[in-house]
Amino acid sequence: MGSDLATAAPHRPSPSSTTKRTKTSSTGFLESRISSFSLNRRRPGDESSEDIRGHFGLNLLHEPSEPLIDFIFVHGLRGGSRKTWSKTDNIGHYWPKEWLPVDPKFKNVRIHSFGYNSDWGERTGSVLTIHDFGQALLGDIMGGVVIKKAFLLAKQDPQYQLLASRFHSMFFLATPHRGADSAQLLSTLIKLSFAHSGKAYVADLMPSSGAVQIINDEFRHAYQGVHLWSFFETLSTSLGLIVEKESAIIGLPGERIQLLNADHRHVCKFDDPSDNNYRTLRNAFASTIEGIENTHLPVRKEEERSHMRSLSQYLGGADRPEADLATVLEKKLPGSCLWIHDRQSFQDWEDDFDDAPKCYWLHGEPATGKTTIVAHTIDYLQQRHKECSFFFFKYGDATRSTIASMLLSLAWQMSSVNSVIREALLGMHLEGEMFDKADERSIWQKTFVSRIFHTTLKQTHYWIIDALDECTNQSVLFPLLAKIPK
């Protein structure tokens, strides 16, 4: 049954938190990388039936270094926090976890799923209602399952009113807002199949249900300020349409309505990112994200730019060597360097499993394309939405030939994509803590050992370093790297 949906709300970090810059990328490149890596590469270890269905409660699927928006995916009747959103058991089809995080539009989106026991096939009876599920999710996140009910509970409870103000958008996928005739059939089947009482939440979904009518009436008077998107199924199952279009539409002013060329089961299950239904839903999400960013984030972006200018001065003019990267990428032939992705050693390094090597060393004769491969790898990691700092050594250039200049640049780059690191280094600056910017050991101790390595990274951060042989004091780097805490 329907009620599969996602909600989006602006994330409110501490007052000093800011947002990072967003890069554009090729949609075609993104789709090809998702398809080849997500669907074919599996994490080690067998998965239990519970893992495949999905766990109950709130599940964090992805957390960027600077979360500004929260998405929460909530399944429907007899669904699961993972099962509902996956066409197969393959983890690569779990698109909220595997596809959205690598989409540049979702760079600052924290993603969750929520699971609860709505399996009408269980032999044990259940007296749980939609109200109970709403309270369960509300208690777990202080914010919204059955999402409309959770929203209403938040609006009515002074403890959660601040949270209610964070609801920005609701996306309903074939949700029976007015109940569904198939709920009556389902209730009958349950009673015939098992010698126990029916499920209370199935009664809540019947067209004549007082619970549905009360929720709709209350929601009609409380939804102002929340953007509504309703998607309806257009293909029949063997039982016909599970949720008719009239029931899948709320009918409130401002509601945006779109069709999906799918039956009820497949409105939220897709083959790959090129699936037209996925693109329809993804584009609706992206439109909401863009609206939030344009409305709520300009002030924070300007604050971030100001902070990064201050840190650049504090770190001796350090910045990200974008010009060096762009120069190399401009000369790169289309389709070149892709071979490196097929190497198991590269895949292990990128995936960062516990037993994987932390250093991937590329060596070769001069003028054989090592720098091009390095630039390609940087671009590849950024396209996949992974955090990456980089440096190109250049012999004879005082600003690009020492370990000290590299460390200053890496520190600045890490602070540009991680608000916690940024705040730590800004704290150094405001406290007037000084260090020798020409002394790599002083830089390492003051900025990395004492500050950066004391922060908790929410995802792996990659350092990509090119042309180490052009560094004037390369021998001092390895003793420093050997002391990086695990």
Distances from the Cα of 141 to the Cα of 59, 71, 133, 153, 386, angstroms: 10, 12, 13, 13, 26
Q: How confident is the model at residue 134 (pLDDT cuts 50, 70, 90)?
A: very low
Comparing 158-172, 210-224, 396-410, 419-433, the range with the smallest average pLDDT is: 210-224
d(CA 249, CA 232): 8
Q: In what order do the strands lie in the sheet with 4-10?
A: 57-62, 109-115, 69-74, 4-10, 169-173, 227-233, 256-260
Residue 161's CB: how many other CB atoms inside 10 A? 11
pLDDT over threshold 70, residue 160 = yes
pLDDT over threshold 50, residue 389 = yes
Which one has a higher pLDDT value, 117 or 201? Answer: 117
pLDDT over threshold 90, residue 363 = no
User: In this structure, what DSSP letter does residue 457 have?
Assistant: P
Q: How confident is the model at residue 86 (pLDDT cuts 50, 70, 90)?
A: very high
Q: What is the pLDDT of residue 135?
A: 45
Residues in CB range of 84: below 8 A, 6 or more apart:
4, 54, 73, 75, 76, 268, 269
d(CA 226, CA 79): 26
Average pLDDT rounded to a whole number, residues 388-413: 95
Q: What does residue 197 show for φ and ψ, rounded to 5 degrees?
A: -70, 160
d(CA 439, CA 407): 10
Residue 192's CB: how many other CB atoms inside 10 A? 8
Q: What is the pLDDT of residue 143?
A: 26
Average pLDDT rounded to a whole number, residues 197-218: 54
Instruction: Give 332-362 pLDDT, tens digit per residue.
Output: 999 999 999 999 999 989 988 777 778 899 8
pLDDT over threshold 90, residue 185 = no
Pairing type for strands 227-233 and 109-115 reads: unpaired
Long-range pairs for 356-361: beta carbons < 8 A, 24 or more residues apart:
359/481
Distances from the Cα of 294 to the Cα of 10, 162, 289, angstroms: 12, 22, 9
Instruction: Give 421-458 pLDDT, tens digit per residue.
Output: 999 999 999 999 999 999 999 999 999 999 999 988 88
**Percentage of the residues of the chain whose pLDDT score is greater than 90:** 45
Closest CA to 461 of 5, 180, 65: 65
pLDDT over threshold 60, residue 112 = yes
Closest CA to 26 of 111, 108, 104, 138: 104
Residue 187 structure tokens: 């209730």
Q: What is the pLDDT of residue 139?
A: 34
Q: Which domains does the chain have, with CATH numbers?
A: 4-296 (3.40.50), 303-481 (no CATH)
Average pLDDT rounded to a whole number, residues 405-417: 96
Instruction: Give 287-327 pLDDT, tens digit per residue.
Output: 999 999 888 778 888 888 999 999 999 999 999 999 999 99
pLDDT over threshold 60, residue 172 = yes
Which one has a higher pLDDT value, 459 or 322? Answer: 322
Greatest alpha-carbon span in the chain: 84
Is the distance from CB of 79 to CB of 4 less than 8 angstroms? yes
Which one has a higher pLDDT value, 181 or 159? Answer: 159
pLDDT over threshold 80, residue 391 = yes
Q: What is the DSSP string of 411-425?
A: HHHHHHH-HHHHHHH
